[in-house]
């Protein structure tokens, strides 16, 4: 197989895994001021993601780094064209990271309230922005011989915004299901309730997204050419329905696993439709950035392939170990007792 194709698949996998892992952290943050009724419960929320959020975010750094190393032209143009959106994303991720660390470091109502707001906003905004960005990538960016013809505001078109809303709802349910696995008692029941109540909205938006994708993008061209690919969106839909069915039976871990699969399959649906483009041009296909016209040299791709195939499995192995260590639900009593927790 050509190295560019391997890297296209890896590129898609890195983004999909990133959204699966940071997705429930975003969701937990979005629910930070919604679910908990006490400060103790807020701390429970932070402590469910405390041990893992940092490692989850590195998938984004790796996805960015992999784009840089494997498709430098795409990296250069994507990051400079989406300058303002990425800036807002950066600011959010910076604020989110320090909020977890700083919130518990001082007493005082005002201090905590400020960080509570910061956590929610800095979780909501990236979820929305990533959706808007990927919606626009699916749709194609207005680029031609003269460069980029769009602006930050032109990203906020209906299809981009719909994808943004899809990401926000998907991550909210994903986060709620995570919390229904990782908390106990009343909080757990409320988390499940939020997941169940938000799910119909997610379903409606997901259906609208799939339908609108048919008109707004060329993603389905690949599917029509290779009908076998329809398995991917079908898995997405099946997993989406699974979330609700398993939750109804009280099988929360399976429901959460379903939402993991949903996130993976939604991203895969978009990425499979893009091939061989990384960013299509909405003006003229001749200016699309493809895996062939924007990739690194075969030598660099070969080296990066070796690195990826050795180290990504190692990373996955120790991450699984860490999730196993911290598999027990977090209780309020435990958090209040342990002053070293967040």
Binding site for another protein (CB under 8 A): 47, 50-55, 57-58, 60-62, 64-66, 68-70, 72-73, 75-81, 83-84, 86-87, 90-91, 93-95, 97-98, 101-102, 105-106, 147-148, 296-297, 299-300, 303-304, 307-308, 311-312, 315, 318-319, 322, 325-326, 337-341
Q: How far is the C-alpha of 215 from the C-alpha of 211, rounded, in Å?
A: 7
Provide the minimum distance between the beta carbon of 28 and another protein in the complex, in angstroms, as a whole number.
Answer: 15
Provide the minimum distance between the beta carbon of 52 and another protein in the complex, in angstroms, as a whole number.
Answer: 6
DSSP reduced 3-state for 94:
helix
Provide the minimum distance between the beta carbon of 319 and another protein in the complex, in angstroms, as a whole number.
Answer: 6
DSSP-assigned states of every residue in 158-178: HHHHHHHHHHHHHHHHHHHHH
Residue with Cβ nearer another protein (186 or 284): 284
| Residue 299 in tokens | 């030598």
Cβ–Cβ under 8 Å, residues 177 and 243: yes
Residue with Cβ nearer another protein (53 or 199): 53
Q: How far is the C-alpha of 273 from the C-alpha of 230, rounded, in Å?
A: 10
| Residue 226 in tokens | 């290779």
Provide the minimum distance between the beta carbon of 232 and another protein in the complex, in angstroms, as a whole number.
Answer: 26
Quick one: which of 15, 229, 41, 258 has its CA closest to 137? 15
Provide the minimum distance between the beta carbon of 323 and another protein in the complex, in angstroms, as a whole number.
Answer: 10
| Residue 339 in tokens | 């002053």
**Which residues partner with 203 through β-bridges?**
none
Residue with Cβ nearer another protein (218 or 319): 319
Whole-angstrom CA distances from 314 to 13, 55, 64, 305 are 16, 14, 19, 14
**Count of beta carbons in the 10 Å neighbourhood of residue 94:** 11
Provide the minimum distance between the beta carbon of 55 and another protein in the complex, in angstroms, as a whole number.
Answer: 4
Quick one: which of 8, 15, 11 has its CA closest to 59? 15
Residue with Cβ nearer another protein (117 or 318): 318
Residue with Cβ nearer another protein (155 or 235): 155
Residue 144, H or E segment: strand 143-144
Residue with Cβ nearer another protein (117 or 201): 117
Cβ–Cβ under 8 Å, residues 71 and 296: yes
Residue with Cβ nearer another protein (9 or 95): 95
Q: How far is the C-alpha of 65 from the C-alpha of 15, rounded, in Å?
A: 11
Residue with Cβ nearer another protein (158 or 298): 298
Provide the minimum distance between the beta carbon of 208 and another protein in the complex, in angstroms, as a whole number.
Answer: 31
For 88, how many CA atoms within 13 A lie in the half-sphere containing its CB?
15
Provide the minimum distance between the beta carbon of 113 and another protein in the complex, in angstroms, as a whole number.
Answer: 15
């Amino acid at each position: 197989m050509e190295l560019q194709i391997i890297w296209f698949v890896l590129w898609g996998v890195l983004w999909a895994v990133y959204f699966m892992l940071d997705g429930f952290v975003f969701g937990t943050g979005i629910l930070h001021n919604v679910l908990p009724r006490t400060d103790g419960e807020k701390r429970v929320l932070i402590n469910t993601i405390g041990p893992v959020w940092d490692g989850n975010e590195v998938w984004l750094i790796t996805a960015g780094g992999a784009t840089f190393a494997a498709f430098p032209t795409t990296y250069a143009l994507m990051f400079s064209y989406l300058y303002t959106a990425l800036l807002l994303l950066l600011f959010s991720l910076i604020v989110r990271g320090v909020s977890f660390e700083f919130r518990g470091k001082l007493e005082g109502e005002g201090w905590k309230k400020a960080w509570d707001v910061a956590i929610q906003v800095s979780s909501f905004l990236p979820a929305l922005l990533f959706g808007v960005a990927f919606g626009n990538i699916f749709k194609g960016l207005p680029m031609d011989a003269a460069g980029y013809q769009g602006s930050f505001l032109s990203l906020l078109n209906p299809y981009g915004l719909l994808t943004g809303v899809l990401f926000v709802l998907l991550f909210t349910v994903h986060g709620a299901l995570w919390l229904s696995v990782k908390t106990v008692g009343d909080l757990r029941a409320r988390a499940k309730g939020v997941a169940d109540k938000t799910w119909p909205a997610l379903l409606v938006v997901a259906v609208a997204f799939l339908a609108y994708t048919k008109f707004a993008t060329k993603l389905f061209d690949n599917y029509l050419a290779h009908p076998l690919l329809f398995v991917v969106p079908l898995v997405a839909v099946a997993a989406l329905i699974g979330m609700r069915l398993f939750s109804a039976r009280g099988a929360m871990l399976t429901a959460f696993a379903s939402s993991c699969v949903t996130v993976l399959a939604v991203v895969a649906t978009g990425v499979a439709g893009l091939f061989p483009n990384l960013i299509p041009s909405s003006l003229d296909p001749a200016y699309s950035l493809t895996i062939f016209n924007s990739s690194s040299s075969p030598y660099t791709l070969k080296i990066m392939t070796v690195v990826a195939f050795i180290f990504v499995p190692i990373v996955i192995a120790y991450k699984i170990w860490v999730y196993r260590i911290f598999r027990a639900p977090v209780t309020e009593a435990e958090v209040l007792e342990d002053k070293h927790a967040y």
